[in-house]
Structure 1
Amino acid sequence: MYHYGRRSQRGGWMTFVLPTVTEKSDGSPRHVGLEFEFAGMDINEAAAAVCEVFGGTPCEDGTFVCRVENTAYGNFSVELDSSLLRSKGYISLLRDIGIDLDASQEKRIERFLLDVAEELVPYEVVAPPIPMTELDSMDDLREALHRRKAKGTRASILYAFGLQFNIEPPDLSVATLTNFLKAFLLCYPWLREAADIDVSRVLSPFIDKFPSGYTRLVTDPEYMPADIKFLIDSYLDSNSTRNRPLDCLPLFAHLDRDRVMSRAREKHLIKPRPAFHYRLPNCLIDDPNWRIADEWALWTEVDELSRRPDTLAAMAEDFQNTPGFPFDLFTSSWKEKVPVWLGRA
């Protein structure tokens, strides 16, 4: 791995560790999209933070969504993170019980719902995919949101807020995708501890761990699906939900939409895209010492390990021989072993 860094707006160095491979197999840059969840400000304030860093023009799209258009990277979205509100699903619910709203009534209902939802439902800034080598701009956005008093994961026991990365793999071959899954599952016990996941997120369903049976299947040194269809089917057998720390449903829907949509639970939440959806990190945006670069550095360990098939095989064999595997009975020995396998010790 190598480092890419520059002087941050706060002073000091803001350095992102990057994996060895930052380009896809066709020579184009690998991209990463980010999603920040937070409270403490309204949509317009959050859109202003995006404009401060990336330029662009804010464009309101109703009460619950504001786009920032024409930035250097494309369009950002700032939205209340509730599909029921964004899609105005509550209107259908009211109509079902015989209540039809005129425009003014609908607006009043929206303001009421917004006031209530702001206490429990996070706002979210959704960034378009940007080149992996330009991730430093995301910490500039973190800084702009921090200055506007955004509240993060630990501001309330109710705030199970996360920072999410949408990461393009170097290619979409079955071997590459399988090795990413192997690497993640092997690193997960250490990764979760290193990321210091807040109790509010542990207790929420959003990052439920992979089932033990699936972990056993994929970390078998001999596991290598013959084709993408088998990889997707074996994933869906145990993981028909998006609530995983590494959500693969958007990626798999990009590859075979019908296969995924026929079995997935939260179909309305799946946006097909050629990227892994890494959901594990906290979003500690109100902590002046928190950096996206630190969360990203943990992911790069998975990224690098995925390209070391011999190490993967040996590590998987060791993992499956760990006392208590795979039924949540791990001693601290495995978490201590992972950094050794990664060459960090």
Structure 2
Amino acid sequence: MTDIRSLPNPRSHEGDTRRVGIEVECGGVDEHRLARILADALGGTVCRTAEYEWTVEGSRIGDIDVLLDTALRDKVESNIAKAGLAMGRAVIPVEFVTEPIEPDRIAEVDQACAALAEAGAFGTRDGLFVGFGLHLNVALPGTQIDDILPVLTAFALMEDWMRARMDLDPSRRLQPFVETYPSVLVDALCDPEAEWSLDALLRTYLQHAPNRNHALDLLPILKHYQSGAVVEAVPQMAHKSGRPAWHYRLPDCRIGEGDWSVALEWNRWCVVEGVASDPNLLGRLRMCWRDYRGRAFGMPGRWHAVSAEILDEEVDLP
């Protein structure tokens, strides 16, 4: 079993444990069967809430929602569409979504994933050309600029390196759902003359990355801060909730692979926050980025190798 690391700041400014909501996508089982497997593994009662949605109520980790991939759920109204859905079950993601839980309960989610694998569920590497992901919704310690900017900057500077080290499945690298941040956003985050506030971050992010398809989606945090501006810039956010939590979407779901776990991906996120909490290391990365971008003959796409000169020495990524 993978040991579960602690965040460098495991509690909020109010003293509460920072929780994490977990979303796991997989194939090989339908929503009802997935819900029953979760109930067998974690306890609780299975209840149907809509045609393609179920809830496991009262499990050991709280209520768990089980549903068809949101991109398809509202598009299968006709009988023909439903027939196509039935034939395509092997490659259509089904997901389960936990309530925010304390990190030390992640092991129970991994137990449920093991039960799913035994029942025939599979992750992204068995999903043909469809990538299945794992999302972590990690509560912020607070909602001030100093609670957000260092972590956002750290991830922006580590992202290429992490992608190379994590060996993401090609099916997910080709999908638009986990795009890298544009270089102009990273430039702004590394600008030594920038004066940051929440309003400045809102303007900068909406100018350079106005969509949800990034491996670290900041829009829920920004909508929690200023809903109207976010919805105006990204209309599809009108139907999404704002919340003071990181929406980390980079990891593959690899249910059924012996060396993979939710705990592993959580530990990787803890590394990001660890870099963010080290001003000297973060400063070196920012300076390295500015030097990289300032080279007259810099090679686009080589930042992962340049950043590795620092990160391989300073960081232990599981």
Per the normalisation by structure 1, the TM-score is: 0.84
Please name the residue that 1:62 is paired with: 50
| 2:129 is equivalent to residue 158 of structure 1 | yes
Offset of residue 14 of structure 1: 3.0
Offset of residue 120 of structure 1: 3.7
Distance in 1 separating the partners of 2:239 and 2:314: 36
Distance in 2 separating the partners of 1:266 and 1:295: 28
Q: CA RMSD in A?
A: 2.2
Residue 171 of structure 1 aligns to which amino acid in structure 2? G
| 2:304 is equivalent to residue 334 of structure 1 | no
Secondary structure of the equivalent of 1:135?
A: helix
| 2:243 is equivalent to residue 273 of structure 1 | yes
Q: Among 3, 8, 11, which residue is 1:23 paired with? A: 11
1:97-108 equivalence runs, <5 A: 108=79
Look at both structures and tell me which one has the larger radius of gyration over its CA atoms.
1
Offset of residue 33 of structure 1: 0.7
Matched residues, percent identical?
Answer: 28
Aligned residues: 314
Distance in 1 separating the partners of 2:34 and 2:284: 46
Q: Which runs of 4+ in 1 moved over 3 A?
A: 108-111, 221-224, 323-327, 341-344
| 2:11 is equivalent to residue 40 of structure 1 | no
Please name the residue that 1:217 is paired with: 188
Of 108-117 and 163-172, more deviation after overlay is shown by 108-117
**1:28-66 deviation digits (Å, cap 9, x = unpaired):** 110101111111011122112221232111111232111
Please name the residue that 1:259 is paired with: 229
The answer to whether the Cα contact below 8 Å between 2:177 and 2:214 also exists between their aligned partners in 1 is yes
Q: Among 185, 190, 213, which residue is 2:161 paired with? A: 190
Please name the residue that 1:138 is paired with: 109
Please name the residue that 1:298 is paired with: 268
Secondary structure of the equivalent of 1:67?
A: strand
**1:71-127 deviation digits (Å, cap 9, x = unpaired):** 244321110013452x4x565xxxxxxxxxxxxxx6x56742531452442001111
**Relative to structure 1, is the Cα distance of residues 313 and 34 closer, same or farther in structure 2, using a 3 angstrom cutoff?**
same
Per the normalisation by structure 2, the TM-score is: 0.91
Q: Among 279, 284, 289, which residue is 1:309 paired with? A: 279
Please name the residue that 1:237 is paired with: 207
**Relative to structure 1, is the Cα distance of residues 21 and 35 closer, same or farther in structure 2, using a 3 angstrom cutoff?**
same
Offset of residue 23 of structure 1: 0.9
The answer to whether the Cα contact below 8 Å between 2:214 and 2:249 also exists between their aligned partners in 1 is yes
**Relative to structure 1, is the Cα distance of residues 46 and 35 closer, same or farther in structure 2, using a 3 angstrom cutoff?**
same
Offset of residue 241 of structure 1: 0.8
Task: Identify unmatched segments of 5+ residues in structure 2.
Answer: none
Distance in 2 separating the partners of 1:326 and 1:249: 30
**Relative to structure 1, is the Cα distance of residues 163 and 326 closer, same or farther in structure 2, using a 3 angstrom cutoff?**
farther
Higher helix share: 2
Offset of residue 316 of structure 1: 0.8
**Relative to structure 1, is the Cα distance of residues 156 and 53 closer, same or farther in structure 2, using a 3 angstrom cutoff?**
closer
**1:298-318 deviation digits (Å, cap 9, x = unpaired):** 111111122222332232112
Offset of residue 288 of structure 1: 2.6
Offset of residue 231 of structure 1: 0.9
Of 186-195 and 328-337, more deviation after overlay is shown by 328-337
The answer to whether the Cα contact below 8 Å between 2:106 and 2:262 also exists between their aligned partners in 1 is no
Distance in 2 separating the partners of 1:258 and 1:326: 39
Q: Among 159, 170, 175, which residue is 2:141 paired with? A: 170
Please name the residue that 1:81 is paired with: 69
Please name the residue that 2:217 is paired with: 247
Distance in 2 separating the partners of 1:224 and 1:326: 29
Distance in 1 separating the partners of 2:304 and 2:29: 42
Distance in 2 separating the partners of 1:157 and 1:256: 40
Please name the residue that 1:202 is paired with: 173
Residue 62 of structure 1 aligns to which amino acid in structure 2? A
Secondary structure of the equivalent of 2:205?
A: helix
Distance in 2 separating the partners of 1:231 and 1:253: 12
**Relative to structure 1, is the Cα distance of residues 142 and 334 closer, same or farther in structure 2, using a 3 angstrom cutoff?**
same
